[in-house]
């Protein structure tokens, strides 16, 4: 590898990182005392060169990918909640405009499953579907103040829920019996989080 590097240098072929360093040095020297000017010069130097852009972003690639996945997962969760709310409104409207559903037209008893049980099952399936699509769970996609709930200490999460009034039941289920200074992700598995989400009555932010 060293011999290859030396051969490339002899031929005047440098790596993208080395080229970026050279552009940065020139940008700083040509714009002494002006950080904004140096930054603009640097941008002009790498702009339009895919290899340089890729080298510049490589240290931050995982962070950018993680941010994109989390934002997308949150949007999917919000869409699932909106669909569930519309479905619940449709069911409630049908009940108000129709007859007593405790018996069907033949006089037989209607199924015994309650509306709350159906809503809980819908929430559970929504969480599981999202986790399956993105490899994430509610521990990742439920992000108070932009921070995944798995990274919150139990005591801080409880204080946040009580202070804001958001998703209080869900947070209480997550943090029950966890030491205040321990992170939620240390104790709660994705399956447990999905079950707690299904059992709670989430409030949209």
Using CA atoms, how far residue 165 sits from 149, 194, 205, in Å, is 16, 20, 10
Q: What is the largest CA-CA distance in the chain?
A: 92
Q: Is residue 124 part of a domain?
A: yes
- Rounded CA separation 203/205 (Å): 6
Matching residue, tokens 């949209």: 204
Alpha helix ranges (H) inside 47-114: 50-57, 61-97
Distances (CA, A) of 73 to 48, 63, 68, 193: 31, 15, 9, 15
Question: Tens of pLDDT along 112-156?
Answer: 456 666 666 666 565 555 555 555 678 888 888 888 899 999 999
What pTM did the predictor assign? 0.39
Residue 57 is assigned to a structural domain of this protein: no
Per-residue pLDDT tens digits of the chain, which is 205 residues long: 455 445 545 656 678 888 888 899 998 899 988 889 988 999 998 888 888 888 888 887 777 777 777 778 777 877 777 777 777 777 776 666 554 444 444 444 444 456 666 666 666 565 555 555 555 678 888 888 888 899 999 999 999 999 999 889 999 999 999 999 999 999 999 888 888 888 885 444 4
Q: From CA 179, how far away is CA 104, in angstroms rounded? A: 51
* Residue 51 pLDDT: 87
The number of folded domains in the chain is 2
pLDDT digits (tens, 9 = 90+) for 41-50: 999 988 888 8
Q: Are residues 40 and 72 in the same domain?
A: no
Same domain, 92 and 162: yes
Dist. CA 204–CA 173, nearest whole Å: 17
CA distance 56 to 74: 28
Dist. CA 71–CA 77, nearest whole Å: 10
- 183 belongs to a structural domain: yes
Q: Which two tokens stand for residue 38?
A: 């140096």
Q: Is residue 78 part of a domain?
A: yes
Instruction: Please indicate, yes or no, whether residues 84 and 161 belong to a single structural domain of this protein.
Output: yes
The confidence score (pLDDT) of residue 17 equals 87
158 and 85 co-located in one domain: yes
Report the alpha-carbon angle 134-139-141, nearest 5: 50
Q: Are residues 91 and 41 located together in one domain of the fold? A: no
Same domain, 124 and 87: yes
User: CB-side exposure of 58: number of CA atoms within 13 Å?
Assistant: 10
Same domain, 81 and 9: no
What pLDDT score does 4 carry? 45
Q: Is residue 36 in a domain?
A: yes
Collapsing DSSP to helix, strand or coil, 183 comes out as strand
One domain, residues 91 and 174: yes
Task: Give the residue among 158, 204, 205 at the shortest CA–CA distance from 181.
Answer: 158
**Boundaries of domain holding 82:** 68-97+116-199
**Are residues 43 and 132 located together in one domain of the fold?**
no
Same domain? 78 vs 162: yes
Please tell me the distance from the alpha carbon of residue 175 to that of residue 144, in angstroms, as a whole number.
14
Judgement on whether residues 82 and 171 belong to the same structural domain of the protein: yes
Residue 13 is predicted with a pLDDT of: 63
Question: What pLDDT is attached to residue 101?
Answer: 47
Indicate if 33 and 83 belong to the same structural domain: no
105 in any annotated domain: no
- Residues with Cβ within 8 Å of 77's Cβ and at least 6 positions away in sequence, in order, are 126, 127, 130, 141, 142
159 domain-assigned: yes
Whether 205 is in a domain gets the answer no
């Amino acid at each position: 590898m060293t011999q290859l590097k030396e051969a490339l240098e002899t031929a005047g072929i440098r790596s993208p990182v080395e080229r970026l360093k050279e552009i940065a040095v020139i940008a700083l020297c040509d714009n002494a005392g002006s950080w904004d000017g140096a930054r603009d010069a640097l941008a002009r130097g790498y702009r339009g060169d895919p290899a340089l852009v890729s080298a510049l972003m490589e240290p931050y690639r995982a962070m950018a990918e993680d941010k994109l996945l989390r934002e997308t997962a949150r949007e999917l969760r919000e869409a699932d909640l909106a669909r569930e709310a519309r479905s619940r409104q449709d069911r409630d409207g049908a009940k108000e405009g129709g007859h007593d559903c405790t018996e069907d037209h033949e006089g037989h008893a209607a199924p015994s499953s309650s509306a709350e049980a159906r809503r809980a099952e819908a929430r559970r399936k929504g969480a599981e579907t999202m986790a399956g699509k993105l490899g994430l769970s509610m521990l990742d996609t439920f992000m108070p103040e932009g921070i995944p709930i798995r990274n919150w200490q139990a005591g801080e999460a409880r204080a946040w829920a009580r202070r804001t009034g958001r998703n209080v039941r869900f947070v209480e289920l997550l943090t029950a019996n966890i030491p205040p200074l321990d992170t939620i992700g240390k104790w709660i598995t994705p399956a447990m989080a999905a079950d707690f989400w299904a059992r709670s009555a989430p409030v949209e932010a």
